[in-house]
Structure 1
Amino acid sequence: MERSIYSDFVFVEAMYNQGYIRKQCVNHYNEVKKVTVREYLPPHVVVYIDVPVPELQRRIQQKGNPHEMKVSSAYLQDIENAYKKTFLPEMSEKCEVLQYSAREAEDAEKVVEDIEYLRYDKGPWLDQDDRTFHHLRMLVQNKLEVLNYTTIPVYLPEITIGAHQSNRVFRKFLELPGRRYSPGYNADVGDKWIWLK
């Protein structure tokens, strides 16, 4: 579970600690999370693979992505701290948690075996029935309803855009090749026989 509604707060905390976002942004995130997370069920199991920050930085340098190479060790350390001090204790109350070092996680058969031997005897999954599962499925397959949970009218420059900026982005989008008209009606991308359609 690299990024989800249950674990993404670690990035928010790290960004705030490093001064990338303001406290108002953190408060907005917490408000949205409070409204949305109660509608969903946590995972049955969390597998946490602990890779030390120096090893992460070595892998990032090896990968060579210029944007990732700019990530500071302090930011990565804040993410690790949030996972270990907040995320894992919270999740251990709601679901099964397995923790491995990077070396231990390389043994995939052992990890699978550990998952198979879990009892899965805690969390809200035990209280569900067909009706509640149906309600959850109907919710998650309706993208507009899911989006409604996150629509809280607050302007924060770090995470929202204003009307004028939104209009500029939309106008630029329409200038892209093939975006001015419906698919099949854009001569600029080679659509033919437009007048016969």
Structure 2
Amino acid sequence: MVEMIGSPDVLASENMEPGCKASLGTPARLSPRPATILGAIDTNVCRQRRYSSSRKIESNKLSQRLGGGKLVIVEGNIGVGKTTLTQKLADDLKYKVFLEPSTDNPFLEKFYADPHKYALKLQLWILRQRYLTYVSALQHIISTGQGVILDRSVYSDCVFASVCHREGFISSDGYQTYQYWRDQSLQHLPLPHVTVFLDARPQLCHDRIHTRARECESGVSLDYLEKLHQEYVKFINEMKSDGSQVLTYDWSTFKDEAIVCEDIRAANRVEWTESDLPTSDLPSLEFPLAEE
């Protein structure tokens, strides 16, 4: 387990949930991009990729391949209860669960030593792991027809990058770089069929964090949780606008997962077309993460 102690561990501790471990994957090789391709900074990075309002109907062949399964992501603030619910939903729905992978993060120690230098590398590394996890989930539902459910996703990674930028750990130039690579990631992926959002006041999430007493979350401040909540509200509105079926629950008290299961089963499935799906030559996306 990778322990995260002291400031500025708010970024790292969130990105290591659950179990306070880093995500699985091999560090990508350096692939520098000219600054001219990035353009002006967009402070609302989650808007970078949008779907057309006129969606094609899924072909019969594609619908047959997917069966009755859906790709579901579970989102919400730190401490709200995502992982517990995700595992229960997977059991009840007979879906395959994809939690954030666990392995040592090659940039964590460097981030602690020099956060302004390594925050971007850390964030890009985690973005890539979330991308790879989403691809694995997508490949599973396409190849087997079994539904999949993810505890957080590549789509919501922008929530944490935005707060990290607001906190000053990622520069404006670095934030442009993040925007570019996030856009490169999402252009190859279809939207999740269903986005489950667990909503609770930041103060309550803060209380839950201290109740479960994970050492790696000891530095998560109420102020940080409030900023994440603000960004999450924007993100959820954008997922609705883009066409994912958003199911929002007041998670101030833990609900019966059976209610959520029924809502997922009844939810309209956002239409995927063959052109939305990744091909066998899906790029590995060699983010600029070379250690210095």
Q: What TM-score bracket applies, with the shorter chain setting the length?
A: 0.5 to 0.7
Offset of residue 161 of structure 1 = 4.2
RMSD: 2.2
**The one of 75, 84, 88 aligned to 2:236:** 88
**Greater helix content:** 1
The residue type paired with residue 100 of structure 1 is: Y
Contact 1:50 1:101 in 2 (8 A): yes
Q: Larger deviation: 13-22 or 53-62?
A: 13-22
Residues 1:61 and 1:71: Cα distance change in structure 2 (over 3 Å):
same
SS in 2 for 1:147: coil
Structure 1 residue corresponding to 2:227, chosen from 78, 85, 100: 78
For 2:160 and 2:284, the matched residues in 1 are separated by 22
Q: For 1:90 and 1:137, how far apart are their aligned partners in 2?
A: 26
Which secondary structure state, in structure 1, belongs to the residue aligned with residue 280 of structure 2? helix
Which one has a bigger Cα radius of gyration? 1
Name the CA distance, whole Å, in 1 between partners of 2:202 and 2:193.
27
Aligned to 1:50: 199
Task: Report the secondary structure of 1:136's partner residue.
Answer: coil
Report the AA paired with residue 45 of structure 1: V
Deviation at 1:109, TM superposition (A): 1.1
Deviation at 1:137, TM superposition (A): 5.2
2:280 matches 1:138: yes
The SS at the match of 1:41 is coil
Taking the aligned partners of 2:213 and 2:226, their CA distance within structure 1 comes to 20
Which residue of structure 2 lines up, in the alignment, with residue 171 of structure 1? none
Q: Any idea what the Cα deviations from partners look like across 1:85-110, whole Å, max 9, x if unmatched?
A: 2x111111221000001156522111
Q: Is the 8 A contact 1:105 1:111 kept in 2?
A: no
Q: Is the 1:15–1:75 contact (alpha carbons within 8 Å) kept by the matching residues of 2?
A: no
Contact preservation (8 Å) 2:201, 2:252: no
Structure 1 9/18 Cα, relative in aligned 2: closer, same or farther at 3 Å?
same
Shift of 1:139: 4.4
- Return 5+ residue gaps in structure 1 as ranges: 153-159, 166-197
1:113-192 equivalences under 5 Å are: 113-120=262-269, 122-123=270-271, 125=272, 128-129=273-274, 132=275, 136=278, 138-139=280-281, 145-148=283-286, 151-152=287-288, 160-162=289-291, 165=292
Counterpart selection for 1:11 from 160, 168, 172: 160
Could you list the runs of 5+ residues in structure 2 that have no partner in the other structure? 1-72, 74-150
Query: Separation in 1 of the partners of 2:225 and 2:172?
Result: 20
Report which structure shows greater RCO (CA 8 Å, sep ≥6): 2
Distance 2:244 2:183 in 1: 19
Question: Distance in 2 between the 1:104 and 1:60 partners?
Answer: 15
TM-score for both structures, normalised by structure 2: 0.44
Give me the TM-score of the superposition, normalised by structure 1.
0.64
Q: 1:152-190: CA deviations, max 9, x gaps?
A: 5xxxxxxx444xx4xxxxxxxxxxxxxxxxxxxxxxxxx
What is the alpha-carbon distance in structure 1 between the residues aligned to residue 200 and residue 281 of structure 2? 35
**For residues 104 and 77 of structure 1, what CA distance do their matches in structure 2 show?**
19
CA, structure 1 residues 110+3, in 2 after alignment: closer, same or farther (shift >3 Å)? closer
3-state secondary structure, aligned to 1:49: strand
Q: 2:54 matched to which residue of 1?
A: none
1:168 is aligned to none
